[in-house]
């Protein structure tokens, strides 16, 4: 991303998604440590330095070369700082699904049992994540990434998550609060071996007790 976006001309979508949203993702303490500015001051400083022109944000003509150098350094810091935060949480995924179902139910006038859906929240999230296992996606710079089910460490009970791998980076796409032990169809699993790594347990089925389980993939 560092070389893909040029500070002197940034597409509107990228400016708002990667720069402005990127500022929100970075901890306030980091801006204070390296720039002696708060998060709000950084966002105001950058937005005041640019103007929107035919779908692109370009530096204002009143900006000096010294000011542009500071802005350029700030933008590289924002684009190059990896926070380790997921793109989504299980809670966000479920809330979006619930809101979508409510809109659809209203449109087609169908009575939906939301209490039952909420009761099976974890099962639904696990199914969604399993569908995204082995999915591919493209970053803004054209790099192809891969999504895979993995385990996120949480004390002694790892949680199910969806990780992404692109080039040498591995980052969380979706994190949950779902205990992996409740869904992996195997005994004596060495959980530590699969933290942030691709799980072979990725297919959802119902066992004889009608409990959802992730089973190993078999070709």
3-class SS letters over 81-143? CCCCCCCEEHHHHHHHHHHHHHHHHHHHCCCCCHHHHHHCHHHHHHHHHHHHCCCEEECCCCC
What pLDDT shows up at residue 4?
A: 57
Two tokens, residue 199 = 């799980």
Beta bridge partners of residue 47, listed in sequence order: none
Mean pLDDT of the chain: 86
DSSP helix/strand/coil, 175 = strand
What pLDDT shows up at residue 56?
A: 92
Residue reference for tokens 């190059």: 80
How much of the chain exceeds pLDDT 90, in percent? 39
CA distance 175 to 92: 10
Angle between helices 65-80 and 28-35 in degrees, nearest 10? 140
Mean of pLDDT values over 37-51: 91
In the predicted structure, residue 104 carries a pLDDT above the cut 60 = yes
Q: Is the distance from CB of 215 to CB of 203 less than 8 angstroms?
A: yes
Q: Is the distance from CB of 173 to CB of 183 less than 8 angstroms?
A: no
CA distance 73 to 191: 41
Could you tell me how many residues make up the chain? 219
User: What pLDDT digit, counting tens, does each position of 178-193 carry?
Assistant: 999 899 876 667 777 8
Least confident span in 17-26, 65-74, 99-108, 137-146: 137-146
How much of the chain exceeds pLDDT 70, in percent? 92
User: What pLDDT digit, counting tens, does each position of 201-212 carry?
Assistant: 888 888 888 899
> Is pTM beyond 0.75 here?
no
What pLDDT shows up at residue 195?
A: 85
CA distance 152 to 164: 13
């Amino acid at each position: 991303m560092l070389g893909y976006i040029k500070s002197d001309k940034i597409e509107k979508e990228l400016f708002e998604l990667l720069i402005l949203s990127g500022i929100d993702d970075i901890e306030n303490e980091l801006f204070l440590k390296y720039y002696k500015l708060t998060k709000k001051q950084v966002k105001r400083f950058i937005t005041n330095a640019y103007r929107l022109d035919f779908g692109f944000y370009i530096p204002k003509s009143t900006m000096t070369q010294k000011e542009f150098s500071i802005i350029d350094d700030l933008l590289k810091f924002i684009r190059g700082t990896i926070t380790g935060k997921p793109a989504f949480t299980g809670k966000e995924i479920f809330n979006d699904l619930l809101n979508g179902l409510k809109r659809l139910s209203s449109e087609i006038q169908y009575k939906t049992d939301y209490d039952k859906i909420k009761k099976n929240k974890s099962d639904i999230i696990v199914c969604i994540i399993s569908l995204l296992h082995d999915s591919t996606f493209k970053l803004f710079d054209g790099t192809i990434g891969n999504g895979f089910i993995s385990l996120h460490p949480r004390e002694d009970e790892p949680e199910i998550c969806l990780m992404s791998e692109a080039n040498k980076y591995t980052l969380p796409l979706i994190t949950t609060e779902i205990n992996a032990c409740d869904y992996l169809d195997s005994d004596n699993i060495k959980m530590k071996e699969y933290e942030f790594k691709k799980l072979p347990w990725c297919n959802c089925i119902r066992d004889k007790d009608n409990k959802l389980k992730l089973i190993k993939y078999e070709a």
